[in-house]
């Protein structure tokens, strides 16, 4: 080995181990991926072909084994075409400089009959061992740790090497030979260290093949997946031996494997008396603070057991370790029990009073202010019939109601008034647990603890459930609430947050979304769509207490609008100016929600341009209806009729644009108020438009239409009312079917009829007809937004 001639392809292997002080468990997976990526990039840049690459990590080392490397890279010849013979000296000198050659190294070649200078560089093959010696320091320097540090005497300069923790050793062996390199005072070699306590001194590695085995002898399992397997199976095993069932937790498996080089799962017991604390609290304490697994008994209850993962094979079988861990857990659980007992003494209503001391946002008042607004809004959502006590129409995957302690739909059969009362009550209490001791200690338990405390004081299940679940859904894929009281509170909470922060100009920008408004949007649309809640976003936004000047949150309103309230535009009433501002704000919020909807729906395969096409109609701000229209549109566009109709639409629209033909729509716009844009949604104007259209249509043509022209008129006469009726009935497939009948007539029309006829009357009628066709299609969706 190692004596083969350069260029002779041999199957060599390479071992790299970067040993350092304990790497945070959460960074190890990323580090493995980065190591492989950087290594492959270095090799590829140097022209080294690679076979299989394996990367491993333990808390104290990153390792890479690459196989199938050549002994040397192949010689390559690179040539670059330069200026022609006789070109100015400057040009030729420049070319030489650029290519790193001297003038006498240039070659003249014939290019299409012209003598041209070529720079030819012969790059000899390199010994891969040398390539590696350069690559190792480069990889270490370029390593993208999420956080890195300096250390030791070298850190007298800030230019010293940075690594995740002090780098202490490099093993670099190419076919068993040391690849010599040095970085930051660390010199490569074949010596490494075994387990911190089960191995003494340094151990010598012969090569890639004996590395893992040699470490194993010294109590290091270098392959993380093997350690993960030991933790996974070992935890299950010790639970089983104790007659219990492990609560599986892959995150903990990976974390414990990342904290150990020789994992040994051990089971311990804690005082049964702690089980009075809610199981989630015990699990959270055990998991986040101590990285312990927990177990259940066979009847599904939380058991008074924990499983810790030691990094040693204990001399006493683990007695001391388990006992030490038990004590730590007991100290934490007694804190938790103390909080639980203290908190239960104070009713939530009393706790909620303290919310007046917590600032929600300096411009949006205290949490108590927010709660007040949410309570009003939750009530309104019920009173308006947006949230009802009926089961949602499609309580799909999330509606199976895995909600212990309550009936699946505890509020079914309630009157609207009863439901409104419950929603308001739950909303008033939903943030009260923020001031409890338990949530102070474990912020992750917000909501959940409120639910427990509500049940403890005997509040209705629907209220307790709503308090518990009102933060849901927390992200894409999270369970969407279906219980009406919960839905009302959850929706009200998120709408208030979204509208409030938009109102004070705290919108997300780029990657910054400090108030999680994108998540709030996602939750609003997921809830509306999944629970089939029918409402106009604009109406709901207009009724936000946070944006309303008529309620006692006036102070906030004033802050939102700054001096705007006072200095109304000349000649307009202050209220009018406010209305315009409010509408602009609503537009902004709706636009934001639609943008998020596009992102959310992308996963479901819904085209964003089709959402635009439906949303662009202006009036469509009912998310459920919007999506139904989009779905119908998407299946229609996928058919042959759809594709062709789209083509016909684009052609018609192009002609109208080229001719600058305003048609009926244009005429109407002129007759409107001083600002046509502002009046687009005016229902009064819609009637005027309709009347004008009817008048137009009623006009007899002064010439005999061509058959294709007549056919299109008749098709439109038929399709327009059909599509309109279908849309009215929310039968969007029907509307599409009506549109589909236009496809053949419009195709034939374009084939057989000349729009730009010499006779002005014919031309104008036909342009009107195209405008009518465009308008008919536009009623269903704004086809101009559709791509392709």
Partner 1 sequence: MGPGMSSATSSGEVLSFQDMILALHNYWSAQGCLILQPYDMRMGAGTFHPATTLRALGPEPWNAAFVQPSRRPTDGRYGENPNRLQHYYQYQVILKPSPPDLQELYLKSLEVIGIDPLKHDIRFVEDDWESPTLGAWGLGWEVWCDGMEVTQFTYFQQMGGFDCKPVAGELTYGLERLAMYIQGVDNVYDLAFNGRGVTYGDVFLENEKQMSKWNFEVADTEALFDLFRKAVAECKNCLANDVPIAAYEQAIEASHVFNLLQARGVISVQERASYMGQVRDLARGSCEAYMAKETERWEANFPGWSA
Interface ranges with partner 1 (CB under 8 A): 21-22, 24-26, 59, 147-158, 164-166, 168, 196-198, 259-260, 290, 292, 308, 310-312, 314-316, 319-329, 331, 357-359, 362
Other CB atoms within 10 Å distance of the CB of residue 543: 17
Cα 398 to its chain centre, rounded Å, is 20
d(CA 236, CA 230): 10
Complex with partner 1: residue 322 or 448, whichever CB lies closer: 322
Complex with partner 1: residue 48 or 231, whichever CB lies closer: 231
Encoding tokens for residue 512?
């910054």
Complex with partner 1: residue 69 or 286, whichever CB lies closer: 286
Complex with partner 1: residue 325 or 388, whichever CB lies closer: 325
Complex with partner 1: residue 197 or 703, whichever CB lies closer: 197
C-beta of residue 55 within 8 angstroms of C-beta of residue 225: no
With residue 17 as reference, give the H or E element that holds it: strand 12-20
Complex with partner 1: residue 326 or 763, whichever CB lies closer: 326
Identify the burial level of 102 via C-beta atoms within 10 angstroms of its C-beta, where 0-12 means exposed, 13-18 middle and 19 or more buried.
exposed
Q: How far is the CB of 185 from partner 1 (least distance, A)?
A: 9
Complex with partner 1: residue 24 or 705, whichever CB lies closer: 24
Q: How far is the CB of 190 from partner 1 (least distance, A)?
A: 19
Complex with partner 1: residue 149 or 691, whichever CB lies closer: 149
Phi/psi region, residue 326 (left: phi>0; alpha: psi -120 to 50; beta: rest), is alpha
Complex with partner 1: residue 185 or 477, whichever CB lies closer: 185
Helix axes 683-698, 663-671, angle to 10 degrees: 130
Q: How far is the CB of 311 from partner 1 (least distance, A)?
A: 6
d(CA 724, CA 579): 31
Q: How far is the CB of 58 from partner 1 (least distance, A)?
A: 12
Complex with partner 1: residue 62 or 755, whichever CB lies closer: 62
Complex with partner 1: residue 81 or 357, whichever CB lies closer: 357
Place of tokens 């058991």: 303
Q: Which residues pair with 66 in a beta bridge?
A: 14, 53
Q: How far is the CB of 266 from partner 1 (least distance, A)?
A: 9
How many Cα atoms are found within 13 Å in the side-chain-facing hemisphere of 418?
Answer: 9
Short-list 600, 598, 584, CA closest to 519: 600
**Close Cβ partners of 242 (under 8 Å, ≥ 6 residues apart):** 267, 295, 305
The verdict on whether omega for the bond into residue 473 sits within 30 degrees of 0, i.e. cis, is: yes
Q: How far is the CB of 294 from partner 1 (least distance, A)?
A: 14
Q: How far is the CB of 26 from partner 1 (least distance, A)?
A: 7
Q: Got the DSSP string for 108-139?
A: EEEETTEEEEEEEEEE---BHHHHHHHHHHHH
Task: Supply φ then ψ for residue 395, to 5 degrees.
Answer: -80, 80
Cα 54 to its chain centre, rounded Å, is 30
Other CB atoms within 10 Å distance of the CB of residue 382: 27
Q: How far is the CB of 357 from partner 1 (least distance, A)?
A: 7
Q: How far is the CB of 191 from partner 1 (least distance, A)?
A: 15
How many Cα atoms are found within 13 Å in the side-chain-facing hemisphere of 181?
Answer: 24
What is the layout of strands, in order, in the sheet containing 293-296? 245-246, 293-296, 302-310, 264-269
Q: How far is the CB of 227 from partner 1 (least distance, A)?
A: 14
d(CA 268, CA 238): 10
Complex with partner 1: residue 311 or 406, whichever CB lies closer: 311
Place of tokens 């151990």: 203
Q: How far is the CB of 524 from partner 1 (least distance, A)?
A: 29
Sign of the torsion angle spanned by Cα atoms 216, 222, 223, 227: positive
d(CA 387, CA 413): 13
d(CA 237, CA 240): 5
Bridge pairing between strands 61-69 and 53-58: antiparallel
Complex with partner 1: residue 264 or 655, whichever CB lies closer: 264
Q: How far is the CB of 178 from partner 1 (least distance, A)?
A: 21
Q: How far is the CB of 21 from partner 1 (least distance, A)?
A: 6
């Amino acid at each position: 080995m190692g004596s083969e001639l350069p260029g002779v392809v041999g199957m060599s292997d390479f071992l790299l181990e970067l040993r350092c002080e304990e790497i945070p468990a959460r960074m190890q997976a990323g580090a493995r991926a980065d190591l492989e990526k950087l290594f492959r990039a270095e090799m590829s840049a140097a022209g080294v072909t690679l076979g299989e690459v394996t990367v491993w990590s333990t808390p104290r080392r990153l390792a890479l084994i690459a196989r199938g490397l050549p002994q040397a890279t192949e010689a390559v010849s690179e040539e670059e075409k330069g200026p022609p013979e006789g070109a100015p000296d400057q040009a030729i000198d420049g070319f030489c400089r650029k290519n790193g050659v001297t003038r006498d190294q240039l070659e003249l070649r014939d290019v299409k009959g012209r003598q041209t200078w070529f720079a030819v560089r012969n790059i000899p093959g390199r010994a891969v061992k040398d390539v590696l010696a350069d690559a190792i320091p480069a990889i270490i320097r370029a390593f993208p740790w999420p956080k890195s540090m300096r250390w030791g005497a070298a850190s007298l300069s800030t230019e010293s090497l940075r690594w995740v923790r002090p780098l202490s050793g490099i093993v670099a062996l190419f076919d068993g030979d040391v690849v010599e390199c040095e970085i930051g005072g660390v010199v490569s070699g074949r010596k490494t260290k075994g387990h911190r306590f089960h191995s003494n001194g340094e151990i010598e590695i012969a090569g890639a093949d004996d590395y893992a085995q040699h470490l194993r002898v010294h109590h290091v399992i270098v392959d993380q997946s093997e350690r993960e397997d030991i933790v996974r199976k070992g935890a299950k095993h010790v639970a089983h031996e104790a007659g219990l069932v492990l609560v599986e937790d892959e995150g903990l498996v990976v974390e414990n494997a990342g904290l150990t080089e020789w994992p040994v799962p051990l089971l311990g017991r804690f005082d049964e008396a702690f089980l009075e604390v809610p199981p989630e609290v015990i699990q959270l304490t055990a998991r986040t603070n101590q990285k312990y697994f927990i177990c259940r008994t066979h009847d599904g209850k939380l058991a008074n057991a924990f499983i810790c993962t030691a990094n040693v094979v204990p001399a006493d079988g683990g007695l001391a370790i388990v006992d030490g861990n038990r004590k730590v857990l007991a100290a934490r659980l007694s804190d938790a029990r103390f909080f639980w007992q203290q908190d239960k003494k104070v009713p939530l209503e009393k706790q909620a009073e303290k919310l007046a001391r917590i600032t929600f946002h300096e411009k949006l008042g205290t949490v108590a202010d927010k709660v007040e607004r949410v309570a009003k809004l939750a009530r309104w959502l019920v009173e308006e019939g947006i949230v009802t006590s009926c089961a949602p129409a499609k309580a799909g995957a999330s509606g199976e109601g895995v909600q212990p302690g309550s009936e699946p739909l505890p509020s079914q059969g309630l009157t609207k008034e009863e439901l409104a009362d419950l929603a308001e009550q739950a909303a008033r209490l939903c943030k009260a647990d923020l001031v409890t001791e338990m949530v102070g200690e474990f912020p992750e338990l917000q909501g959940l603890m409120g639910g427990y405390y509500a049940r403890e004081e005997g509040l209705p299940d629907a209220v307790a459930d709503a308090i518990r679940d009102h933060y849901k859904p927390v992200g894409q894929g999270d369970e969407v609430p279906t219980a009406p009281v919960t839905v009302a509170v959850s929706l009200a909470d998120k709408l208030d947050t979204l509208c409030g922060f938009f109102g004070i100009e705290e919108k997300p920008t780029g990657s910054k979304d400090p108030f999680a408004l994108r998540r709030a949007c996602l939750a609003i649309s997921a809830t509306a769509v999944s629970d089939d809640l029918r409402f106009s976003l604009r109406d709901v936004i207009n009724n936000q207490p946070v944006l309303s000047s008529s309620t006692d949150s006036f102070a906030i309103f004033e802050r939102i609008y700054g001096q705007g309230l006072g200095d109304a535009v000349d000649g307009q009433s202050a209220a009018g100016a406010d209305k315009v501002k409010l509408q602009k704000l609503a537009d902004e919020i709706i636009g934001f929600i639609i943008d998020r909807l596009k992102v959310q729906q992308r996963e479901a395969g819904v085209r964003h341009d089709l959402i635009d096409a439906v949303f662009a109609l202006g009036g469509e701000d009912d998310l459920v209806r919007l999506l139904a229209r989009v779905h119908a549109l998407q299946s229609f566009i996928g058919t042959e009729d759809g594709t062709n109709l789209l083509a016909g639409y684009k052609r018609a629209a192009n002609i109208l644009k080229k001719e600058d033909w305003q048609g009926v729509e244009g005429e109407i716009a002129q007759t409107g108020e001083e600002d046509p844009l502002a009046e687009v949604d005016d229902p009064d104007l819609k009637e005027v438009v309709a009347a004008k259209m009817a008048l137009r249509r009623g006009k007899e043509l002064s010439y005999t239409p061509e058959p294709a022209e007549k056919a299109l008129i008749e098709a439109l006469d038929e399709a327009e009312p059909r599509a309109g009726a279908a849309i009215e009935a929310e039968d969007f497939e029907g509307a599409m079917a009506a549109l589909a009948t236009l496809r053949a007539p419009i195709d034939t029309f374009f084939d057989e009829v000349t729009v730009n006829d010499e006779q002005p009357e014919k031309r104008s009628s036909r342009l009107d007809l195209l405008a009518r066709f465009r308008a008919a299609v536009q009623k269903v969706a704004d086809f101009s937004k559709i791509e392709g």
